[in-house]
Amino acid sequence: MKIPPYPHPRIAREGWGILAGSLAASVLVSFWSCWAAIPFWLFTLFALQFFRDPARSAPEGDGLVLSPADGRIVCVEDAPDPYAGGRRALKISVFMNVFNVHSNRAPVDGKVQSITYFPGKFFNAALDKASLENERNALVLRTLQGHTVTAVQVAGLVAKRILCHAQVAQTLYAGQRYGFIRFGSRVDVYLPLGARPRVAIGDKVQATSTVLAVLPDAPDDEHSPA
C-alpha cells in the first residue's frame, strides 16, 4: 500500500488560516452581539465544509486514470492538448461547485515533466471556454509505460487561488494529493488517444475513488496521428 508523504489532515492545510481567522472573529463578535455574530458563524461553518479533505482509497488495476477532483463530468471529447505539444487527446473535465471537496489528486502514477501557470479570466468553470481562457495551472505527467497525461487546474467564477505543491521531476502516485483550488473550479485531464472513458457527461465523481478512463496498452507514439 502506498503511504502518503505526510499525515493526512481531515481539514486541508490551505484552509487552516481562514478557519482560524473566521473562528476568532466569530467568538469575538459573539461577546458583543449574538445576532451580529450569526453571519460570522455561518461563514465559519461554510469554510469548515469547504476545506474538508477526507482520505480516499484508490481502486486497483492496470492503466487506471483516477478522478483528480470531486464533482460532475462536464466534458468527454477528443481535443488537442495545448500543454503537451498540441497532440490529439481524450479530454475529460470535472466541474467542482462550492460544496465539493476541492483537494486535487494525481490521476496516474507518473513523473512530472512540466508545471506551467497561465494567468487568465474567471468565467464560470462549467463553460467550455474556461479551459483555455481562465486562470489555470497545467501539470504534465509521464507514466512508466510511456503515456503522457495532463491535469489542468482551472479557476472558476469565484475561485481566486490555484495552489500546486508538486515540483518538476517529482514522481507522483495515482491519488496523491498535489494541489487545491479555492472556491469553485474545474480540472481538465488530457489522455492519450486510445484511452477508454469510463464516465459520461453528467456523472458525479469522487477524487481518487472514481475511475475516469483506462489507458491504452501501447505508448503514446503508437497512437499519434501520422
Sketch the domain layout of the chain as residue ranges: 13-50, 64-222
Question: How far apart, in Å, are the Cα atoms of 8 and each of 15, 71, 179?
Answer: 14, 21, 14
How do residues 189-222 score in pLDDT, each as one tens digit?
Answer: 999 989 999 999 999 999 999 999 999 986 766 4
pLDDT of residue 199: 96
Catalytic residues: 185
pTM attached to this predicted model:
0.85
Question: How far apart, in Å, are the Cα atoms of 145 and each of 62, 77, 110, 220, 226?
Answer: 11, 23, 9, 9, 21
Domain at 64-222: CATH code: 2.70.70.10
Q: Is 48 within 8 Å of 198 (Cβ atoms)?
A: no
For the cut 60, the answer to whether the pLDDT of residue 224 exceeds it is no
Residue 31 or 122, more confident: 31
Confidence class for position 42, pLDDT limits 50, 70, 90? very high
